[in-house]
Every structure is written in C-alpha cells, then in structure tokens.
Amino acid sequence: MSPELHINLANLRSNIKFFQTIIKKNTELSAVVKSDAYGLGIAKIVPEIERYGVRSFFTATIIEAIKIRSFSRDSEIFTLNGFDFLKSNLYREHNITPIINNILEAQKFIEIFNQTQKVAIQLNTGMNRLGLDTQSLLENIDIIKSLPLNLILTHLACADETSNKENKAQKDLFIKLCKFLPNIRQSISASHGTLLGNEFHFDMVRPGIGLYGGIRNNGLKEVIQIKVPVLQDFIIDKNMQVGYNFTYKAKHKMRVATLAMGYADGLPRTLSNIGKLFYGSTPCPIIGRISMDLVTVDISNLPKTPKYLCVFSPEYRVDDFAKDCKTISHEVLVNLGERISRVYSK
Amino acid sequence: MSPELHINLANLRSNIKFFQTIIKKNTELSAVVKSDAYGLGIAKIVPEIERYGVRSFFTATIIEAIKIRSFSRDSEIFTLNGFDFLKSNLYREHNITPIINNILEAQKFIEIFNQTQKVAIQLNTGMNRLGLDTQSLLENIDIIKSLPLNLILTHLACADETSNKENKAQKDLFIKLCKFLPNIRQSISASHGTLLGNEFHFDMVRPGIGLYGGIRNNGLKEVIQIKVPVLQDFIIDKNMQVGYNFTYKAKHKMRVATLAMGYADGLPRTLSNIGKLFYGSTPCPIIGRISMDLVTVDISNLPKTPKYLCVFSPEYRVDDFAKDCKTISHEVLVNLGERISRVYSK
C-alpha cells in the first residue's frame, strides 16, 4: 500500500479564478508549472489550467518544457533557467520560448535563430541570481535590442514580505530598465508579488505556489491532501522503544500504528518525534524516527484504528506542515515522491 | 541545463564484492532496491547487481516489485511493507514474495493462496515498527506454521551503533523465536548489521545503502557524484544581497555563480548559507537561499568560472553532506530529483 495525493481540481480552479479576479484588466495570467507542476502532475494540471484561459506556462528547463508541450499544443512555454543553446534544435522543434539570462545566451540566440524564434529576457533587479544586470544591459543594448523579444521579466526577492521596501526598489529599477526596451510586455510578479497589488501586475503575472494551495490567503483554497494507509497497529507497554536508534520510549502503555509513508515519499526525517498525522482534526503524534518507507504514530487517542491517516487537517495546512519542516510549501510539494499515487477530484 | 548524477558501476561492483567477501560461507547476499534503488535507477542497477550473483531483491511495495521484475526475470523479489492482499493477483502474476507482517495478512494469504505461492515473515524483535511480536507469534503459531514460509526476517534498530547492547538483545530474541519455525532461512541484517560480524549474518544479509556508497567504511567505495552546470557568473559589490529574502549580504566584492540545482533536485533548502559545492577539492560556499531550481555560490577563490561544480569531493562524501543536512545518506539519495539525468560509468 502507498500514500495517495488527493488533488482538488475545483479548488485549483477557484485559485485560478481568484488570481484572474484580482489582477488588472489587461494583465495576462500565466502559470508556473516547473517541477511537474510542483509535484501535482503536469498531465492533468496543465490541461486543467488551460481550460480556464491560461495560455502561457513557465518551466525551469527545456526538457520540462517539451513535456509540457505534449499536454498543451497551442500555449506559449518559457524556460526560466535560460537558453540551453547546446539543445537549440529542441526549442525550434517544440516551439519553446527561451528566456535569455545573459549576453552569451543572447549572442548564441542571434547566431542560431536570428529573428526566426520568439524569445524573452530576464533582468536582474537586485536578487542577484539570474538575469542581466543594469551594466550588462546598457553595455550590450544594441545586441539586446536586436533580439525578437516578446517579454521582459524580473523576479522579486522579498515579495512574501509585504512591507519590505526592496519590492518597490526592484519594481522601480525594472521600470527604469524597461524604458530601454520599449513596447515589449513586462512581468515582475509570481504568486506573492501578485498579491502585493496592481502596481506589481504589469502585463503578465506568473503565479505558481498560490495556484497549488501553498499560500495562506483568504482568497486561496487548499488543493491537496495526502492519505496514508495504516499497515499495522499494536500495543506497546511503558518503556518500550520505537524505531531506529530507539529515539522514542513510551511513557505509558499506548496504541501505535505503522503507516506506509517515509522520507522517500516526502515525509521528511526531520519530523521524527516532532510531526503529526491526522484523523480528521485529531492529531496523532509521530513517535520515533521516520524510516525510508514507514512512519509510526501514537493513535491512543482514537477510538479505533483507522484505515488511513492524513498529513493535513483543516487547522494544519501545507504551510503549517512546511513550518514544522523548517521550510516553505514549495519544498514540501516538490518533494512528494514517485510512489505516491495522484488522485484527482473534480 | 540540468545536474548529472554520475554513478560509478565499478565501485558498485567493488561494494558487492566487499559484502560477498566478509559474509559467512553459506550466507546469501541479497540487495535492497526499494525507492528506485535508492535513487540510482533500477533499470541499470538491478541487472548490474544480478550480474554479480545476487538472486534476491527487496522492495517496499508490490508496485516497486513489479517494476523490478521487468528488469530481472529469475530473481526472488520480496515486499518489505507487507502483503497488500487487495492486490493479491499481482503477486501471483509477477511471482512476487510478500513478507507477512501480521496475523491478518497471514490469514488473507492462506485464504487466497494456501500453499501455491512463496511467502516470508517478518518478526518484531523490539524495533516496534513492522512484524509479528512474540505474543502474536505464539498465540497464532499454528496459522504461521501452515504458511509455506521460505524466509524469516527481522530488522535491527541500532545496527549503526556497533557497541549498542540492543543489537545482541534483538539477535537473541530472533534466535529464540525462530526455534518455533524450524528449518526456514533466517535474516536479520541490512548494511550496518552485516558489518557487525559473522553472528549477524545468518542465512541471508540484505544490504542497501552500503552498496550505494552511503556508508563510510574502509571496505566500501563512493558510488555517486553530482555535477551541477553553471548557468551564469557575475561580480557583486560589497553590501549587495543575494537570493530570496536577501539572507546573504556580501562582505566584500566577490564573484558569484548561479547553478542549475535547487531543492526540487534534492539540494535541501536547509543548506542555504551553510552548504558548499566543489571544484575538485576546493569548496565554493553556498550563499543566499537555495531556490527550487537554482543555487548561488561564491566562486571568488577559483581562478576562472568552471563549466560545472560538484556536490561531493574526495574529502566531502555523501555522509558528510547528509550530516550538514542533519539527516542520513539514505534520505539524500532518495531525494535526488527526476530532473537529474543518471549517467553510468563502467
């Protein structure tokens, strides 16, 4: 038996509509679907998002982009991690739009494609991760202007901190730099940026995690639940120990269940003796070390042994789980393993 | 561009031979290949292990077992996570041996298969995770004896602590319980248990992580290296900041590289501002937050920007990396993502 990842497509649709409702009238809603649509499965998620009018998708790599293309014939698909020019034939063959991040990529693009292929550019407005910085842009403005650009984008470093002044600083620099490349669509915001308000919407917003229920916001709904089957239950007496290296010793007689989810499935080992699974809203504490394929929990407070427990509850959402893992929802989602079957509900 | 996981098959073979050399003469060497052979790829790893005489494989689930069967027609394949009796037809169709973990599974097995299918049993000798405990075994000894058992196994909780008395306690209880089920093969040890010495070898040992280079031992070799392509390099001035939430501020002018590996690929976000990548033996500190698809490192100490950096070095092995992630090698390996291409060297 293996865990099931239940994906609520109605709530995904609700989140798409929420973003469509809050953005400016002429702003396009695109979707970030890299890393298998954040673990939710592109084969189902991409066509579903497309049904609600989304026509632009963002991936990290050309290989991901080609997979997306097989589920979406007519959309525009961008590769955020740059132009992988050693695979230039794949961009042409599958009609993928590279996002140029530096001058070398720009030069290679012109050399290979000249004006025959669409292309976007990313500017570095302070995050110092990817994209052309001010100096590179200005020193090479003629090369950049010769590209058949259809989108200029940048990425905000602190968009989840609504009052952080860096957001405005990045936006102001972006506006300034875009003046050197007039009449091209502009995009600055992913999910959190979109929530910062109209002045961050520009011509296109690019939410990812917000679509998939990883942000706590009144307008956004939870999208996923994980059901973990119980493999075995048993009683342990006081002072009996549980799991690898006996990190748990029972303080009293208790009922324990062993379930079919471990760190290979995305239940991080760091939650050993800290995390919990749920029967409805009732928490069942994880006891002992989480194994590769298994987890043991204290089910003494349940009236009988259930067939499965859940990873989330109405009061304990993906972002709460992520906090207990000392990370963010994004990492929780993309770490959900191959063995978990994806189950989609309308 | 994406990272490459380089898998050294010569060193895998060396590790197989090491275990074959240290085990007792009549002990069988099997291999644990669950979770896609700990992330190394069953399509290549299972046939390779089989070439060196291994004839028994262990997986967690029936679905994994069926995948293994497609690469190994004649071996015996066991499912550690029990007998998934709702899928009983799959065990018969693909000739998979379930490992019974409790009485319900034993009863279902008899009801469905009677004597027509091979079966193994797991005993709980103190880890309190899976398997029949002493009381369940003795109360149901007639049912258990009626099973066509070909292997009795248990699992050590503290085998990586060589002087822990619990190892002997589990072994002694296992020997005692096996007396109720005479003339059936016995197995107690995975990798660390096998290293505890002859008295832990019994009829079969079941190494997993030790084969794949995740244990530091004079007889065992490293098997994997990860090469991460550099996407971009740039200079940042003193006080410039890097990455999400600007968690890094440059103390001086420095050269930075952005590489194509993030937490979606198995470079945990917890290594932000802590971990390092390597150019040969030269460490390049990770600066700023690790993103989903990207990592930024300080390459000021390199003479020029390399095409790629490595995750491990001769002095910084998988288990060192795991320690920095506050986990064990197993979790590092099984978290290596789908986007990383697997490259095998003879």
ipTM comes to 0.96
**Whole-number Å distance between alpha carbons of B346 and B343:** 10
pLDDT, one tens digit per residue, over B260-283 is: 999 999 999 999 999 999 999 999
What pLDDT was estimated at residue B114? 84
pLDDT digits (tens, 9 = 90+) for B172-213: 999 999 999 999 999 999 999 999 999 999 999 999 999 999
**What is the structure's pLDDT at A116?**
83
Please check whether residue A48 touches B, CB under 8 A: no
Q: Compute the distance between CA of residue A253 and CA of residue A257 in angstroms, rounded to an integer.
A: 14
Q: State how far the Cα of A143 lies from the Cα of A9, in Å rounded to an integer.
A: 44
Residue B341's pLDDT band (boundaries 50, 70, 90)?
Answer: very high
Q: What is the mean pLDDT of residues B48-62?
A: 97
Asked if B60 has any chain A CB less than 8 Å from its own CB, the reply is yes
Query: CATH number for the B224-345 domain, one of 2.40.37.10, 3.40.50.300, 1.10.287.1080, 2.40.50.140?
Result: 2.40.37.10
DSSP 8-state class, residue A263: G
Q: Which residues of B touch A58 (CB under 8 A)?
A: none
Q: Could you tell me if B203 lies within 8 Å of chain A, comparing CB atoms? A: no
pLDDT of A346? 84
Per-residue pLDDT at A97 exceeds 90: yes
**Helix, strand, coil percentages, rounded to 5, for chain B:** 35, 25, 45
Closest CA relative to residue A82, chosen from A135, A33, A122: A122
Using an 8 Å CB-CB cutoff, list chain A residues near B260.
Answer: 60-61, 81
pTM of the model: 0.96
Residue A316, both tokens = 């304990």
| A221 labelled catalytic | no
Structure tokens at B84: 């998934």
pLDDT recorded at residue B263: 98
- Give me the residue spans of the domains in chain B: 9-205, 224-345
CB contact under 8 A, B244 and A157: yes
- The class that CATH gives domain A9-205 is alpha beta
Among residues A145, A168, A176, A244, which one is catalytic?
A244
Residue B103 scores a pLDDT above 90: yes
* Partner-chain residue, chosen from B133, B166, B232, that has the shortest CB–CB distance to A130: B232
Q: Is A4's Cβ below 8 Å from some Cβ in B? A: no
Chain A partners within 8 Å of B232 (Cβ): 82, 101-102, 130
Q: How far apart are CA A256 and CA A302, in angstroms?
A: 11
| CATH fold match for the domains B9-205 and B224-345 | no
- Report how far apart the first and last C-alpha atoms of chain A are (Å, whole number): 24
Chain A: nearest CA to B237, how far in angstroms? Answer: 11
